Amino acid sequence: MSIKNNIPQLTISVSNKLSIDIEYFKNIFNGNIYFDKSQNGYYI
């Protein structure tokens, strides 16, 4: 949790090797998915 422009902001992070496994969370929370190349690569 953080405060950005005096507005509380909650950050939820989910990671997995397959993007399809986290697509559900993207759709529910209207978020983003990106690929992180570190540690053999995974989607966040």
Please provide the average confidence, as pLDDT, over all residues in the chain. Answer: 87
Q: How many other C-beta atoms can be found within 10 angstroms of the C-beta atom of residue 22?
A: 19
pLDDT attached to residue 8: 92
Mean pLDDT on 3-30: 88
Domain spans of the chain, in order of start = 2-43
- Residue 12: the pLDDT is 83
pLDDT on residue 9: 87
pTM, rounded to two decimals:
0.64
DSSP tag of 19: G
Whether the per-residue pLDDT at 39 is higher than 80: the answer is no
